[in-house]
């Protein structure tokens, strides 16, 4: 028997792109009473936390933004091909203000627990300060890349300089003229390296796995380009929704080995000149992430560029990546060129691992102490489920999310879990593989539609079935088998976190296929979900 109405219709956790859009959708379009919480002191999520020098989008800016605001969609965000952190944050602030969301977002508030009350059919969320709120629905927009990973390296806490993670960059930290070390050469590390090399006294790069990096072709838009986008933005977005990764370009349908070596090189060179990692991997040929021979051809092209660019043969050798080119592809401004600068040096941790961090810097196994003022950890994130696992989330029957995911994290459609009714994840485990903003809009639009359908029908209990969750997770695993992304350890499959159970966390069939699947599920009356009134649901469980 449901007797106490909850305080809110919905609570949104997170005020990044996912949380902002969910708040807008549920509040302004569905007319629900919604409150959002974020532990950050400002809005923007990723774009609030990641303020390191060089932070910017690596998706092209024209499609790394919301599409729902038709008044502003024709105007690029910022002046450059990629959106700088500050421009992105300002853009998200402007969205929050324009849609009247700010007063509904409570910042500086960590949500530490979420407990489902089966009698009331509601969630009780509790903050770090012990304040509790109830809601019928909870949207967990916790961020696929928001649980920072700081490796436990011996002596870490003894360092007398500043030790920072890129995703918690302190506002007062300037690296200008300093001796700076950076651990990590992923998307973040390479962005940081390119920016830092311009201002620091000395930059020491501690590289564990050499990176495949292509140019990003970043530059300011010309007036002609802006005018062209204004005129054609609808076509650009139509392309996004029907493409594989939603990157704003049409992916190639041509297999790499179906053309001559000369032609392959010409196509790779054209992509190299244009810039952008996603284009390099997907606009060139259709099978670089699937066919080992195609993958090797792309990898070999990048290696040939490193040989051409890097003047010191020993540095070039250390920078040379091997194995599959199958992590989230990375592009940057002049990454390899940076290593020709006199103030930049490279330490290969495969050859000389870190023995320990000392009060003065980093001591490597060759006995060299690299003296530093600032040590930057660009060491990434415990991605997708990491933030969930840090919380005390208890669903039906008191099951914790850790118990539910004890054999690896899964979901139904990247949004829902059996035994966690009325909880909708934005980019949870087994989510769509895409440029994130269109993926986020796809998910939020879809579960908002599901909530509306349920409420219109007098139902307020929405739960994925066990079978639907298992089948979707297995489907993701099966598709992943055909992808080289599952063959290399990275944050995409949990292989970057020691001891974490590996599973490719994406539905790698891509955005268009995902949207089609969502349409089918909706068309079949939200197949795989049980929609009930709370009391009915309890009867069903007891039957
Ligand atoms: P986030 O932006 O991570 O927001 C989640 C929010 O939830 C955070 O503010 C966090 O503080 C809050 N939160 C989490 N747990 C709690 C809790 N328990 N209580 C209260 N608050 C909580 N993706 C792309 O597609 N293209 C790109 O070019 C791209 N560039 C990136 C660059 C960087 C440096 C990084 C780190 C990521 C990038 N990403 C990119 C991925 C990026 O995370 C997403 O594109 C997008 O910003 C995710 O939005 P979100 O709202 O889902 O999560
Ligand atoms: P990534 O891609 O996970 O990169 C992390 C980097 O840190 C990578 O080079 C790692 O080396 C390195 N790393 C991690 N642990 C260690 C230890 N213990 N020692 C040395 N080096 C280490 O994170 P990013 O932040 O760059 O990118 C994540 C996403 O955020 C990306 O998609 C962007 O959109 C922004 P490894 O390769 O594992 O050997």
Structural domain boundaries in the chain? 8-146+383-542, 183-377
Structural contact between residues 115 and 94, judged by C-beta atoms closer than 8 angstroms: no
pLDDT of residue 1: 43
Structural contact between residues 396 and 462, judged by C-beta atoms closer than 8 angstroms: no
pLDDT of residue 540: 44
Distance CA 293, CA 269 (A): 18
pLDDT of residue 535: 54
CA of 26 to the centre of ligand 2 (A): 35
Q: How many helices (H) and strands (E) does the chain have?
A: 16, 22
Residue with tokens 């899964």: 410
Give the pair of three-digit tokens for residue 15. Answer: 């005020």
Structural contact between residues 493 and 503, judged by C-beta atoms closer than 8 angstroms: yes
* Residuewise pLDDT in 10s, the chain (543 residues): 456 799 999 999 999 999 999 999 999 999 999 999 999 999 999 999 999 999 999 999 999 999 999 999 999 999 999 999 999 999 999 999 999 999 999 999 999 999 999 999 999 999 999 999 999 999 999 999 999 999 999 999 999 999 999 999 999 999 999 999 999 999 999 999 999 999 999 999 999 999 999 999 999 999 999 999 999 999 999 999 999 999 999 999 999 999 999 999 999 999 999 999 999 999 999 999 999 999 999 999 999 999 999 999 999 999 999 999 999 999 999 999 999 999 999 999 999 999 999 999 999 999 999 999 999 999 999 999 999 999 999 999 999 999 999 999 999 999 999 999 999 999 999 999 999 999 999 999 999 999 999 999 999 999 999 999 999 999 999 999 999 999 999 999 999 999 999 999 999 999 999 999 999 999 999 999 999 976 555 544 433
Distance CA 489, CA 503 (A): 10
Measured at the alpha carbon of residue 526, what is the angle toward residues 119 and 8, in degrees to the nearest 5?
Answer: 40
Contacts of residue 380, Cβ cutoff 8 Å, sequence gap at least 6:
145, 148, 149, 184, 186, 188, 491, 496
Residue 79 neighbours by CB distance under 10 Å: 13
Ligand 1 binding pocket (C-beta < 6 A) is 13-19, 37-40, 45-46, 48, 50, 55, 57-59, 64, 110-111, 141-146, 167, 188, 387, 391, 426-427, 435-436, 440
Residue nearest to atom 23 of ligand 2 (CA): 380
pLDDT of residue 7: 97
Q: Which atom of ligand 2 is nearest to the CA of 354?
A: 19
Nearest ligand, CA of residue 40? 1
Question: Which three-class secondary structure string do you get for 316-347?
Answer: HHHHCCCCCCCCCCEEECCHHHHCCCCCEEEE
Structural contact between residues 391 and 111, judged by C-beta atoms closer than 8 angstroms: yes
> What would the CATH number be for the domain defined by 8-146+383-542?
3.50.50.60
Structural contact between residues 409 and 385, judged by C-beta atoms closer than 8 angstroms: yes
Distance CA 506, CA 151 (A): 24
Distance CA 165, CA 191 (A): 14
> What are the backbone angles phi and psi of residue 32, rounded to the nearest 5°?
-85, 160
Contacts of residue 511, Cβ cutoff 8 Å, sequence gap at least 6:
240, 241, 243, 244, 245, 246, 432, 433, 434, 435, 438, 439, 442
Best residue for ligand 1 mutational test, from 13, 16, 106, 432 (most atoms within 8 Å of Cβ): 16
Residue with tokens 């810097």: 361
Best residue for ligand 2 mutational test, from 83, 181, 184 (most atoms within 8 Å of Cβ): 184
């Amino acid at each position: 028997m449901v007797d106490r109405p909850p305080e809110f219709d919905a609570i949104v956790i997170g005020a990044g792109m996912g949380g902002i859009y969910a708040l807008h959708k549920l509040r302004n379009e569905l007319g629900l009473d919604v409150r959002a919480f974020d532990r950050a002191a400002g809005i923007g999520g990723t774009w609030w936390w990641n303020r390191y020098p060089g932070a910017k989008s690596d998706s092209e800016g024209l499609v790394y933004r919301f599409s729902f605001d038709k008044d502003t969609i024709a105007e690029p965000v910022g002046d450059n091909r990629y959106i700088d952190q500050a421009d992105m944050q300002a853009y998200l602030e402007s969205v929050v203000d324009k849609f009247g969301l700010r007063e509904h977002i409570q910042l500086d508030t960590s949500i530490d627990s979420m407990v489902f009350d089966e009698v009331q059919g509601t969630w009780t969320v509790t903050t770090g300060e012990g304040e509790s709120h109830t809601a019928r629905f909870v949207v967990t927009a916790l961020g696929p890349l928001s649980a920072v990973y700081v490796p436990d390296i011996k002596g870490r806490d003894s360092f007398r300089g500043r030790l920072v993670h890129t995703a918690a960059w302190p506002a007062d930290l300037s690296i200008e003229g300093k001796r700076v070390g950076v651990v990590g050469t992923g998307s973040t590390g390479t962005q940081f390296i390119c920016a830092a090399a311009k201002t620091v006294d000395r930059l020491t790069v501690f590289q564990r796995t050499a990176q495949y990096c292509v140019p990003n072709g970043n530059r300011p838009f010309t007036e002609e380009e802006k005018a062209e986008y204004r005129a054609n933005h609808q076509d650009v977005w139509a392309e996004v929704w029907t493409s594989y990764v939603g990157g704003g370009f049409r992916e190639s349908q041509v297999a790499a080995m179906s053309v001559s070596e000369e032609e392959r090189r010409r196509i790779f060179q054209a992509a190299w000149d244009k810039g952008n990692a996603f284009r390099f991997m997907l606009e060139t040929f259709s099978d670089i992430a699937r066919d080992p021979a195609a993958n090797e051809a792309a990898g070999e092209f990048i290696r040939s560029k490193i040989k051409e660019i890097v003047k010191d043969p020993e540095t070039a050798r250390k920078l040379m990546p091997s194995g599959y080119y199958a992590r989230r592809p990375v592009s940057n401004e002049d990454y390899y060129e940076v290593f020709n600068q006199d103030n930049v040096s490279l330490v290969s941790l495969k050859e000389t691992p870190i023995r320990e961090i000392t009060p003065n810097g980093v001591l490597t196994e060759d006995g060299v102490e690299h003296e530093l003022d600032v040590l930057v950890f660009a060491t990434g994130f415990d991605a997708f489920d990491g933030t969930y696992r840090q919380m005390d989330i208890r669903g039906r029957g008191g099951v914790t999310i850790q118990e539910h995911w004890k054999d690896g994290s899964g979901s139904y459609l990247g949004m829902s879990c059996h035994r966690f009714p009325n909880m909708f994840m934005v980019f949870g485990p087994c989510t769509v593989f895409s440029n994130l903003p269109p993926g986020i809009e796809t998910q939020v639009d879809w579960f908002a539609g599901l909530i509306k359908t349920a409420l219109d029908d007098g139902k307020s209990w929405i739960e994925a079935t066990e079978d639907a969750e298992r089948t979707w997770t297995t489907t993701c695993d099966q598709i992943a088998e055909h992808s080289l992304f599952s063959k290399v350890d990275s944050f995409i499959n949990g292989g970057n976190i020691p001891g974490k159970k590996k599973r490719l966390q994406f539905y790698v069939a891509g955005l268009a296929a995902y949207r089609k699947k969502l349409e089918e599920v909706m068309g079949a009356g939200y197949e795989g979900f049980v929609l009930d009134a709370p009391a009915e649901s309890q009867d069903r469980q007891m039957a």
